Amino acid sequence: MTMMLLLVFLSTVFIGVHAAEIGKPHSTVIALTGKTFDEHINDPANGLWLLKFYAPWCGHCKKLEPVLNQVAPFLTGKMAIGKIDCTVEKALCKRFEVRGYPTLKYYRDTEYHDYPSGRDADSIITFGEKMSDRAVQIISTYDDAKSVLLDKFPVAFIAYDPDVTNNEDSLASIDASGATDAEKEMEKFIQSNERTRVFGQVARRWQAQGSFGLLSPNSLSEEIAKFFEGSDTPPSNSFIARIEVDVPIKLYTGEITSDSVSEFVTANNLPVVVELGGHNFRFAGRKGKPLAIGVYDPNDEVKKNKFRQEMKEYATRGAHKDGYVFGTMDGKKWDKFLGQFSITKESLPELFVLDVPKRVFWQDSSVFGVSDFINAIENGEIEAKEQEARKKIHLKNSLIDL
């Protein structure tokens, strides 16, 4: 009888804890199973999730575990964190096509995306705070666009529409929610017309991959003109501008539809030369273009900066710049992964090109200079080679599954 009472007591405690988890913002990492996954993910109290798919034996997973435990309390009410043991929850991990550990995804608004940021505590907290903030900021000047938007992310998209008005009807839906004056003002602008509504929807969907701003209708004409400086595109009534520090502005002045704006954003949401690592390699490699990867020695700051600047100049002005995604990699940190491409510490800095989906690459240590190397590939002077089979790549390297 005593044992039966104990079991009843423990069952009651367990049910109480489980019930408490649903409907409340999480402050700890939640272990999710096939039975509890959908219930937690669809909990309105936790609208944004960071999900870790892992295996208990995985070294990188073990390193990440205390980091997630550390940041979870700081993100209470902003982003919930869940973990799924793929050695147990095999069906769940198959559902999400998990092929390497750890795999990180985030969930919001019924959609799952690959997590695009770093795996240290600061990066995860910054991501959670960014994603829990409003997706679109109001700006008045070009300098505001640079200081406010590029402070949080290296790439920003700014929309302008002269027909933006302070639509009072748009406030009705948020007055009861206790929204701040700034949020109400933002909502008024976004709900002004179909074009700004589309931009707001796209901004929320792709918030993880960029910063988004809406130029105030009160902005001076000279401020608007700054977005067209150095461009062959004449000033238009409405536009979307992509900005990045020390990179020419790219303008979109076409039809404003969800598909067209999403296409413009997703095609341009990486820096012209992106620092590559385990958190974004797969994302960058699936942009529909080969990766031109500049590998540098982190201990030689002078050569590193000179090499990166050379890549940036080609990525913005080179003859074949539109045919590649340009990135850099730390040759010391990723030496095991880079070894399969015949990249050695002695040859740095060095450029090679990798087609991730096709698993072929181009490498030749005798060709120097970014322009010369790309031209040699385009002219067929460097032959493509097959990338090693996955089973031969070092299992502890987090870039194994690309």
Radius of gyration (C-alpha) of the chain in whole angstroms: 24
And the tokens for 234?
């004449």
- Please tell me the predicted confidence (pLDDT) of residue 235: 66
- Please tell me the predicted confidence (pLDDT) of residue 215: 87
| Structural domains of the chain sorted by starting position, each given as residue range(s) with its CATH number in brackets | 21-131 (3.40.30.10), 135-267 (3.40.30.10), 273-392 (3.40.30.10)
User: Could you tell me the pLDDT band of residue 70, with boundaries at 50, 70 and 90?
Assistant: very high
Weakest-pLDDT range from 8-17, 50-59, 117-126: 8-17
- Please tell me the predicted confidence (pLDDT) of residue 182: 64
The sheet with strand 239-244 has its strands ordered as 136-139, 211-215, 156-160, 239-244, 247-252
Task: Give the model confidence (pLDDT) of 318-354 as tens digits.
Answer: 999 999 999 999 999 999 999 999 998 888 999 999 9
Task: Give the model confidence (pLDDT) of 238-275 as tens digits.
Answer: 889 999 999 999 999 888 999 999 999 999 999 999 99
And the tokens for 369?
């200079």
**Higher pLDDT residue, 138 or 66?**
66
Contact at 8 Å (CB) between 190 and 125? no
User: Could you tell me the pLDDT band of residue 17, with boundaries at 50, 70 and 90?
Assistant: very low
| b/e sequence 104-127, b meaning 16+ C-beta within 10 Å | bbbbbeeeeeebbbbbeeeebbeb
Distance CA 78, CA 62 (A): 24
Distance CA 392, CA 340 (A): 9
**Higher pLDDT residue, 235 or 369?**
369
And the tokens for 244?
């990045």
Ramachandran bin of 211, using left for φ above 0, alpha for ψ from -120 to 50, beta for the remaining angles: beta
Task: Give the model confidence (pLDDT) of 85-108 as tens digits.
Answer: 999 999 999 999 998 899 999 999
User: Could you tell me the pLDDT band of residue 165, with boundaries at 50, 70 and 90?
Assistant: low
Cross-strand bridge partners of residue 296: 330
- Which runs of consecutive H residues, i.e. helices, occur in 219-257? 221-225
Distance CA 316, CA 273 (A): 9
- Please tell me the predicted confidence (pLDDT) of residue 46: 96
- Which runs of consecutive H residues, i.e. helices, occur in 239-334? 258-267, 281-285, 301-317
Task: Give the model confidence (pLDDT) of 119-162 as tens digits.
Answer: 999 999 999 999 999 899 888 888 988 888 888 789 999 998 88
